[in-house]
């Protein structure tokens, strides 16, 4: 006991947090017709030490832990994430555009369940990719923009004029904070998110970081629940008749 405060290990205060925190990692909400399910956590999975960075809707996998869950050195993690960013920039400059599959997770749950099954049926690689997404520690949304208040113009291109500090709200101003709180979980067009993942850390161009995620792992006692309203943002995205047959995710684990 220090300063008249009991050691955390000697009190039951906060136990609910300790037991629930671990449940939000390495899992994902899975769309099913009529009732969704929760992906079973598998600590032995080959993906259990990885996070899923997203940038411009491109999705990657980055190893951040040893097999025993010991975090890798910060510099190694930073280098790997930086490699992801540089690769995305290179792909965009070459004219490549990602298929925004994550947008489908913001749709009506039954519609997403139907589209999810269709994607699985297209390619074994898709099934492997979805399986990996379910087991990643979490998602990391690297947003190429700064969240803008509603009365500001929306700029989304890689070379947008947001590079000019005069076009964005001042960091820590009321306008900047409010815009972040409202839009980190409801980004423009539901882009660069995987709403079924729990949790997601978002990082904006101005260094503002936030968090969002599917709450089911800690608010539901069962892995099966009746249909909930779904993500906070409802966005209709027509499913194309022809889709990517390979949703493989590049890995950066040198």
The tens digit of pLDDT for each residue in 116-154 reads 999 999 999 999 999 999 999 999 999 998 888 876 655
pLDDT at position 161: 40
In this predicted structure, the answer to whether residue 206 has a pLDDT above a threshold of 90 is: no
Contact 179, 186 (CB under 8 A): no
Question: How far is Cα of residue 68 from the mean position of the Cα atoms in its chain?
Answer: 23
* Distance linking the first and last C-alpha atoms of the chain: 44
For 218-236, the pLDDT digits (tens) are 764 433 333 333 333 322 2
**Domain coordinates in residue numbering, the chain:** 37-252
In this predicted structure, the answer to whether residue 249 has a pLDDT above a threshold of 90 is: no
Phi/psi region, residue 205 (left: phi>0; alpha: psi -120 to 50; beta: rest), is alpha
pTM to 2 decimals?
A: 0.76
Which residues lie below 8 Å from residue 212, measured CB to CB, with a gap of 6+? 184, 185, 193, 199, 200, 202
In this predicted structure, the answer to whether residue 94 has a pLDDT above a threshold of 50 is: yes
pLDDT at position 223: 33
Residue 61: CA atoms inside 13 Å, Cβ hemisphere, count?
Answer: 22
In this predicted structure, the answer to whether residue 2 has a pLDDT above a threshold of 60 is: no
pLDDT at position 222: 35
In this predicted structure, the answer to whether residue 90 has a pLDDT above a threshold of 60 is: yes
Helices 109-122 and 124-135 pack at an angle, to 10 degrees, of 130
The band of 97, judged by pLDDT with boundaries at 50, 70 and 90, is very high
Q: Using DSSP bridges, classify how beta strands 58-59 and 197-198 pair: parallel, antiparallel or unpaired.
A: unpaired
Query: Which residues are annotated as catalytic?
Result: 215
Long-range contacts of 90-99 (CB under 8 A, 24+ apart): 91/58, 92/56, 92/158, 97/56, 98/56, 98/57, 98/58, 98/59, 99/57, 99/243, 99/244, 99/247
Mean pLDDT, residues 27-52 taken together: 93
pLDDT at position 60: 96
pLDDT at position 212: 85
Q: 79 by DSSP, 3-state: which?
A: helix
What CA–CA distance (Å, rounded) separates 220 from 25? 15
């Amino acid at each position: 006991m220090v300063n008249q405060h009991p050691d955390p290990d000697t009190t039951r205060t906060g136990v609910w947090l300790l037991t629930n925190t671990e449940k939000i990692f390495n899992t994902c909400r899975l769309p099913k017709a009529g009732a969704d399910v929760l992906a079973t956590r598998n600590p032995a999975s080959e993906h259990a030490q990885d996070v899923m960075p997203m940038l411009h809707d491109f999705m990657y996998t980055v190893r951040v832990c040893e097999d025993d869950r010991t975090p890798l050195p910060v510099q190694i993690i930073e280098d790997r994430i930086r490699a992801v960013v540089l690769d995305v920039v290179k792909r965009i400059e070459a004219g490549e555009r990602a298929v925004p599959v994550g947008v489908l997770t913001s749709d009506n749950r039954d519609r997403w369940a139907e589209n999810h099954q269709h994607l699985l049926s297209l390619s074994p690689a898709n099934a492997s990719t979805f399986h990996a997404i379910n087991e990643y520690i979490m998602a990391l949304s690297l947003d190429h923009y700064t969240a803008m208040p509603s009365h500001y113009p929306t700029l989304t291109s890689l070379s947008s004029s947001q590079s000019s500090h005069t076009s964005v709200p001042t960091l820590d101003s009321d306008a900047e904070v409010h815009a972040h709180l409202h839009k980190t979980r409801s980004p423009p067009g539901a882009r660069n998110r995987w709403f079924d993942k729990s949790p997601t850390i978002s990082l904006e161009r101005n260094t503002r970081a936030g968090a969002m995620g599917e709450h089911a792992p800690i608010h539901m006692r069962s892995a099966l629940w009746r249909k909930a309203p779904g993500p906070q943002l409802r966005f209709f995205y027509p499913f194309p008749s022809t889709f990517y047959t390979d949703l493989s995710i590049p890995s950066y684990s040198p």
